[in-house]
Amino acid sequence: MKKIYFLFITISIGLNVKAQLTLTKTNNQPVIGDVVLMADYDSTTAVPKATGTGMNWNYSSLTVASFTENLTYTTVASTPNASLFPTANIVLSRGGNNFEYYNNAASNIAYVGMADPSSTNVTVFSNPGTFLNWPTAFGNSNTDPFTATDSSPTYTDNWNGAISFTATGAGTVTMPNGVKHNNCLQVKTIITLTTTGSSSSTMTLINYEYYSSLLRYPILRLEYQTMKQGTVTNTGFNASVNTAALTGIGQNELSKANVTLYPNPAKDMINVQLPGNAIAEKIEMFDVTGRLVLSSENVNSLNTSSITKGIYLVKVKNGNSVTQKQIIITE
């Protein structure tokens, strides 16, 4: 059975830091064209998951692993299986041919399916599963059953389950590199799934998502998986971090439309184009751990020949504007 990805999406809402974060449709929905870099992290000790208000969740003990994942939001029409998901209005691409389809309705966001055209594997939800209601604040909860058919040329499975979420905590999150995010909301989601057909299994996914008032998407995710097939039970754990949260840049500080970063991917040099061909006051490059690897002032380019290949965050400062974009460096 393929790995099941469920997305939890939010946009920050610019509240005063003393107020608890509330997620709304106007401010808390995915945006076509956005790219989010999630980096896997490891833990050798128990990670904090306490619930309640006034919490201080400290994840400074997490250490970065080798895997990173680019999440890109795109249009339904741009995907090969668009016709199978008529109710979808946005798609998450996890790279390659892995597409997830979502519907932003007036009162919620729901999962409507997934497709992998390379293997002709398609999952269509006849009864979509709701992930978040609009609005969602501390203490709010919801349970929604779902049904789906997962099929390929070699098998067909029926899915039945439920998604339950509760906004269980509010407080401060300390990121692995020490950056602190105040006014965060913790959402605990439990997904139960039973598959029948060509194979039979039961699965439980328990996820803890942390949303910051500074960024559009979750800043940190903890995932616990338990799957039982026959007499065999497998468990798993994963921690992933939104690398944009490691620099502490707020969404309201970003002005991506006015800055062009090229080439991307790059090798020995990256260039920055600002409106009116202005000169950038400062350009900084961070790796996936949030560590500053390059910095220069009053320039419009950076020499990247000295750094290893990988995915980086580039922060451009010009006056009161701060822009943050991702770039791939190749060797």
User: What confidence score (pLDDT) does residue 11 get?
Assistant: 30
CATH of the domain at 288: 2.60.40.3080
Distance CA 238, CA 6 (A): 13
Answer yes or no: are the C-beta atoms of 6 and 132 closer than 8 Å.
no
User: What confidence score (pLDDT) does residue 6 get?
Assistant: 47
Q: Which of 212, 230, 246 is the last residue of a domain?
A: 246
Q: Is residue 107 part of a domain?
A: yes
Q: Which of 214, 246, 278 is the last residue of a domain?
A: 246
User: What confidence score (pLDDT) does residue 244 get?
Assistant: 83
Query: Which H/E stretch holds residue 106?
Result: none
Answer yes or no: are the C-beta atoms of 237 and 223 closer than 8 Å.
yes
Query: Which H/E stretch holds residue 143?
Result: strand 141-152
Work out how many domains the chain is built from and give that number: 2
* Residue 269 and residue 219 share a domain: no
How confident is the model over 234-263, as pLDDT tens digits?
999 999 999 888 876 655 454 454 688 888
Q: Is residue 45 part of a domain?
A: yes
User: What confidence score (pLDDT) does residue 8 get?
Assistant: 37
User: What confidence score (pLDDT) does residue 3 get?
Assistant: 47
User: What confidence score (pLDDT) does residue 249 get?
Assistant: 61
* Residue 271 and residue 226 share a domain: no
Distance CA 141, CA 202 (A): 23
- pLDDT-flagged residues of the chain (< 50): 1-3, 6-17, 252, 254-255, 257
Q: Is residue 190 part of a domain?
A: yes
* Residue 308 and residue 178 share a domain: no
Q: Is residue 6 part of a domain?
A: no
pTM (two decimals)? 0.79
Which residue range(s) make up the domain with 167? 35-246
Q: Which of 183, 215, 246 is the last residue of a domain?
A: 246
